Amino acid sequence: MIVSHRHKFVFVAVPKTGTHSVRQALRSHLGPDDWEQARLFVEKQSPIPELAQLGHGHLSFQDVRPHLGEDAFADYFKFAFVRNPFDRFVSYCAFATSREGSFARDPKGVMRHLLFVAPPHNHIIFKPQFTFLCGPDGQLQADFLGKVETMQPSYDEIASRLGVETTVLDHANRSRHEEYKQYFDQELIDGVARIYARDIELFGYDY
């Protein structure tokens, strides 16, 4: 999460959507009173104790809103990135099992376990993307959504709207896996479609 009072924006870092690359690009534009919360590569905490105690950098718009105030929340440019849920789930499986290497050995077994046997619904990275981006009424709170599939053009548009110079994004914290369609059968397609149905509908994705 980044809140820039200098440039009047809120960036919500949805997990597994290239958030570290975007953070790196934005940091050079931040002012001394801007907020960032992150745990990977750098350790940064929001100056707001209620946000800092959450302990991770993947805060939602709804987390930030009451601390920013309604006038500023309405006025600031709010953006995030989203990703095809099928591709994102493969990335999650590779990331979550990277230490033991089980995804590399048995990707479909890992995917079935996480979809059907023990879905980690409380794991922040497993949560559907809409939960970071929508309010209690289910309405999207972002002014702009970039897409991982068009990462650089999306960031170029964000930089233009912020009035800052764009930069070529690095590929930080990338999980190791092949193209996502290599891992799916119909049962796994149906499982992802069930858990991430709202993401698929709201962001216009399909398998």
pLDDT of residue 134: 98
On the question of pLDDT at 174 being above 90, the answer is no
Integer Cα distance of 79 and 155 in angstroms: 10
What percent of the chain stands above pLDDT 90? 94
> Is residue 99 packed enough to be buried (19+ CB in 10 Å), middle (13-18) or exposed (0-12)?
exposed
pLDDT tens by residue, 85-109: 999 999 999 999 999 999 999 999 9
Residue labelled with tokens 């750098």: 42
d(CA 191, CA 193): 5
Mean pLDDT of the region 136-153 = 97
Judged against a pLDDT cut of 80, whether residue 205 lies above it is answered with yes
**pLDDT tops 70 at residue 119:** yes
Each residue's pLDDT tens digit, 27-38: 999 999 999 999
H helix and E strand count, the chain? 11, 5
Strand pairing class (35-36; 77-82): unpaired
Question: Which residue matches tokens 């972002």?
Answer: 142
pLDDT at 172 over 80: no
Domains contained in the chain, CATH given: 2-203 (3.40.50)
- Predicted confidence band of residue 41 (pLDDT cuts 50, 70, 90): confident
Q: How far apart, in whole angstroms, are the C-alpha atoms of residue 8 and residue 143?
A: 13
Dist. CA 55–CA 52, nearest whole Å: 6
pLDDT at 40 over 90: no
Question: What pLDDT, on a 0 to 100 scale, did the predictor assign at position 171?
Answer: 77
User: How confident is the model at residue 86, as a pLDDT?
Assistant: 98
pLDDT above 70: percentage of residues in the chain: 98
In degrees, rounded to 5, the angle at the alpha carbon of residue 94 between the alpha carbons of residues 202 and 2 is 55
| Average confidence (pLDDT) over 103-123 | 97
Report yes or no: 116 and 191 within 8 Å, Cβ to Cβ: yes
